[in-house]
């Protein structure tokens, strides 16, 4: 189970592997886990040895480079937009 912040719930929810959409190795030590929440919201979690703790992210910040920069603290994670497309 992974604790991920969901903006639709406005709280942290626990999501299992069956909810995972994809896993992306953004760079050495930075991994993006992307999930579909129970309410259909796409949410993400940054983790890995170079991420200071686990960081929840939401679209469109799931863009790989933006998420990677956010994990390092280089940029603020942008606010979520109404829709998400890959």
> SS3 for 67?
helix
Check: CB of residue 63 under 8 Å from CB of residue 80: no
Tokens 């686990």 correspond to what residue? 54
What does the block give as tokens for 51?
């991420």
pLDDT of amino acid 36 = 93
Tens digit of each residue's pLDDT, the chain (86 residues): 999 999 898 999 999 999 999 998 888 888 989 999 999 999 999 988 888 877 887 765 556 556 566 555 554 444 433 333 33
Using a cut of 0.95, tell me whether the model's pTM lies above it.
Answer: no
């Amino acid at each position: 189970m992974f604790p991920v912040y969901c903006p639709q719930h406005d709280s942290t929810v626990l999501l299992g592997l069956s909810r995972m959409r994809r896993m992306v190795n953004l760079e050495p030590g930075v991994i993006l886990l992307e999930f579909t929440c129970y309410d259909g919201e796409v949410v993400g979690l940054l983790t890995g040895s170079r991420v200071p703790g686990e960081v929840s992210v939401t679209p469109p910040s799931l863009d790989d480079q933006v998420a990677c920069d956010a994990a390092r603290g280089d940029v603020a994670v942008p606010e979520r937009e109404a829709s998400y497309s890959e």
